Amino acid sequence: MDSTLFALTGHAAIVVTGKDRTSWLNGMVTCDVTKVLPGQAVLGLLVEKKGRIQTDFWILGAPDALVLVLPRERVGPVLEVLDHHLIMEDAELTTPELAWFYGAGMETAPEGARFAAATDLLGHPAMLFGAPDASVVTAGALLGDPARFEAMRIERGLPRFGVDFDTTHYPQEAGLEKLAVSFDKGCYLGQEVVYMLENRGHPKRKLVPLDLEGTEAVEAGAPVTPEDGQGEPIGEVRSSALGPVRGAPVAIAMVKWSHAKPGTKLRVGERAAIVRAFP
């Protein structure tokens, strides 16, 4: 795809430095931090001791730091949790004021970027980077409409914290257990609950991507029913858009577990819908 720069104005960063940064942070979050290489970005979660998500984040590897890029409104609560569990380890937490960008179709970050890493989370090569001076990296760049970035992530099936899920949900409810959780690493905060839910049960509901008939997106909150449209709703739409790749309406919806299997036929209002697998 053509290179397009999207400003992530709702995101900020927590930077972790010190010689114990990797081992300590690995014991706090769901992803395997030991496998995050410099120049690489990986999706992860911070969950509380009962397994509920406190935030999602990208974690960027840098030669001398690990960088958590997360929703700006979650920086304070997350920093409080991390600081509480930082005791004797050689690790330091800082929150530099940086402007964050997602460069779709970019293979290198522009000059002026302080932290940068590659990701293909939305289905194409991209660079995620932060810069102390936004004007330096945006000069002469093609800036994308935030609505298009939102449509890209909905079409991909990537749920967004604060829109599709929140602090009341488990990773499996948010559909992030394959993208953001390692079940092979050692213990981390909330690990036992997340593991038990994965291996000895399942949540009552789950976020799923939907392909919809029609030519327009649907409203958030629209009820989802079984294919015959009869009975009580089995879920609701959390976000929807016209997919920029498919050119067709797509959505992310929270539905009952029994209706979450890929290929399941549903209805959103009067429209036919089908559950698509997460990437």
Give pLDDT tens digits for 136-190.
787 767 789 999 999 999 999 999 999 999 999 999 999 999 999 999 998 999 9
Residue 171 lies in a domain: no
Considering 119, 138, 157, which residue would you say is the last residue of a domain?
138
Task: Name residue 238's amino acid.
Answer: R
* Residues 216, 126 share a domain: no
* Residues 121, 8 share a domain: yes
Residue 167 lies in a domain: no
Owner of token pair 């294919």: 227
Considering 138, 156, 175, which residue would you say is the last residue of a domain?
138
pTM passes above 0.85? yes
Exposed e or buried b per residue across 262-278, where buried means at least 16 C-beta atoms within 10 angstroms of its C-beta = eebebbbeebebbbbeb
CATH number for position 227: 2.40.30.110
In angstroms, what CA-CA distances link 52 with 30, 79, 197? 11, 17, 11
Residue 174 phi/psi, 5-degree rounding, is -80, -5
Residue 161 lies in a domain: no
Task: Name residue 54's amino acid.
Answer: Q
- Using an 8 Å Cβ cutoff, are 169 and 52 in contact? yes
* Residues 220, 108 share a domain: no
Structure tokens at 61: 């590897």
Q: How many domains does the chain have?
A: 2
Considering 123, 138, 153, which residue would you say is the last residue of a domain?
138
Range of the domain at 117: 4-138
The per-residue pLDDT string of the chain (279 residues; one tens digit each, 9 = 90 and over) reads 578 999 999 999 999 999 999 999 999 999 999 999 999 999 999 999 999 999 999 999 999 999 999 999 999 999 999 999 999 999 999 999 999 999 999 888 888 889 999 999 898 899 999 999 888 787 767 789 999 999 999 999 999 999 999 999 999 999 999 999 999 998 999 999 999 999 988 899 999 999 999 999 999 999 999 998 788 899 999 999 999 998 999 999 999 999 999 999 999 989 999 999 876
CATH number for position 115: 3.30.70.1400
* Residues 252, 134 share a domain: no
